[in-house]
Amino acid sequence: MRPSAAAAAADGHPAGAFGLVVAAVALAATAAYVLAALRLRARGDAWPQWRDASFAAGCLAIAHAMMMPLPGGPFTAHMVHHVVTAMAAPVLVVLGRPLTLLLRTVPPGRVRRGFLGVAHSRPAAWLLFPPVAALLDMGGLWLLHRSPLLAAAHHRPVLGAAVQAHLLAAGLLFAFSVCRLDPVRHRWGLAVRGTTLFVAGAAHAVLAKTLYAVPPPGTAFAASDLRDGARLMYYGGDLVELALAGVLAVEWYTRRGRALRPRARRAAAPGRLEPAAGGRRFT
C-alpha cells in the first residue's frame, strides 16, 4: 500500500494539518508546564525535577512522531507511531502529574473552579473508570486493525485525523486512569487498576500476534513489513506494560511503607506509647 500525501495522517508519516496542530499543542504544553513548575518552586513548593523531564519527554516524543518521518515500511512506521504516541508518551505525560500542577498554579477563582468542576464531574469519573478507559483504548485499536477502518483512513484525511485523535486521547486516558496520580473524583483501588492493566495488556498482545499473520482487512502490506510491525507492537506493548506495572508497584510499596511507619516508631522508642506501664497515678 502506498500512502498518498493526503492520507498520511493515518499512517504516522510526516503529516498534514492535524499532525502540525498536535505537535504545536504538545510543545505549548511543555512550555506551560515548565513555566508553572518554575513558579511553584519559586514560591517554595516541592516539585521534583524528574516530573518536568518526564512530561517534556512525553510531549516531545508526540511532537516528533507527528512531524518526522518514521523508520521502516508503511505498516512498521504506523506501529512506531502507535507505540510512541498512544502508549509510551502518555505514560511519560501522566507521570508528570499535569492536573496536580495545573490546580496548584492556577489562582483560586472562577478558572480554577472550572477546572476542578471538570475533573470532578460525573462524565470524567465514568471515563476514568479503568475498564471504560481500557475499552475505549483497546476497543479502538481492535476496531482500527480488524475492520476496514485503517484502509478507509488511508484515503480520507479527515477520518485519518479522527482516528489518530482518538488513539492519542484514549492512550492518555488509559495511562491516566491506570496510574491515577492526579486528584480526580473516584480513587479506584490497585486491584481494579491492576486487573484492567492485565486484561488490556493481553488484548494488545493478542492483537499484535494476529497482525503478524493476518493484515488489517483491505490493506496489502508486504509480509516482512507486517511482521516487523507486529513484533514492534508486541514488544513495545511489553515495555509500556512493565512501566505501568512499575507505577502500581511503587504505589503499593509506598503505601505499605506508610502503614508500617508507626510500628517502626513504636519499636524505636519502646514504652513511650504505654503511659500506664510506668506512670505515676494520682489518686
Partner 1 sequence: MPNGAAPPPTAPRTRRSLAVFALIGAALMAALDEIVFHQILHWHHFYDRSTPGIGLLSDGLLHTAELGALVAGGVLYADLRRLRALSPAHARAGFVLGLGGFQLFDGVVDHKLLRLHQIRYGVDVTPYDWAWNAAGLLLLLLGAVLAVRARRTGDRRADA
- Residue corresponding to grid cell 475498564: 131
* Nearest-approach distance from CB 138 to partner 1, in angstroms: 12
141 binds partner 1 (CB under 8 A): no
Distance CA 83, CA 132 (A): 20
- Tell me which stretch binds partner 1 (CB under 8 A): 17-25, 179-187, 253-261, 275-283: 253-261
> Considering only CA atoms, which of 2, 28, 22, 16 is closest in space to residue 166?
22
- Contact assessment for residue 176 and residue 133, using Cβ atoms and an 8 Å cutoff: yes
Distant-in-sequence, close-in-space partners of 260: CB < 8 Å, separation ≥ 6:
none
Give me the helices (H) in the chain, please: 17-42, 49-67, 74-82, 89-95, 98-105, 110-119, 122-127, 130-146, 149-155, 157-179, 190-213, 223-268, 275-278
| From 206, 224, 273, 274, residue interacting with partner 1 (rule: CB under 8 A) | 206
Give least dist CB 41 to partner 1, A.
20
Of 68, 260, 272, 274, the one binding partner 1 by CB under 8 A: 260
Nine-digit cell string for 267: 519499636
Count of residues of this chain found to bind partner 1 when the rule CB under 8 A is applied: 36
- In the list 202, 217, 223, 224, the residue contacting partner 1 (rule: CB under 8 A) is 202
Q: Which residue, 115 or 188, has its beta carbon nearer to partner 1? A: 188
Residue 249 binds to partner 1 (criterion: CB under 8 A): yes
C-alpha closest to that of 1 among 115, 106, 155? 155
Q: Is 273 in the site for partner 1 (CB under 8 A)?
A: no
252 binds partner 1 (CB under 8 A): yes
Tell me whether residue 20 is exposed, middle or buried, using C-beta atoms within 10 angstroms of its C-beta: 0 to 12, 13 to 18, 19 or more.
middle
Dihedral sign for Cα atoms in the order 178, 183, 185, 189: positive
Indicate whether 50 belongs to the interface with partner 1 (CB under 8 A).
no
Report the C-alpha gap between 154 and 76 in whole angstroms: 15
Choosing from 198, 223, 224, 274, the residue that interacts with partner 1 (CB under 8 A) is 198
Report in angstroms how near the CB of residue 201 gets to partner 1 at its nearest: 4
Q: Which of 90, 140, 160, 201 binds partner 1 (CB under 8 A)?
A: 201
Q: Is 257 in the site for partner 1 (CB under 8 A)?
A: yes
Question: How far apart are the C-alpha atoms of 236 and 245, rounded to whole Å?
Answer: 14
Binding mask 81-120 for partner 1 (x = CB under 8 A): ----------------------------------------
Q: What three-state secondary structure class fits 236?
A: helix
| Nearer to partner 1 (CB atom), residue 165 or residue 243 | 243
Instruction: List contacts with partner 1 (CB under 8 A).
Output: 194, 197-198, 201-206, 209-210, 212-213, 227, 230-231, 234, 238, 241-242, 245-246, 248-250, 252-253, 256-257, 260-261, 263-265, 267-268
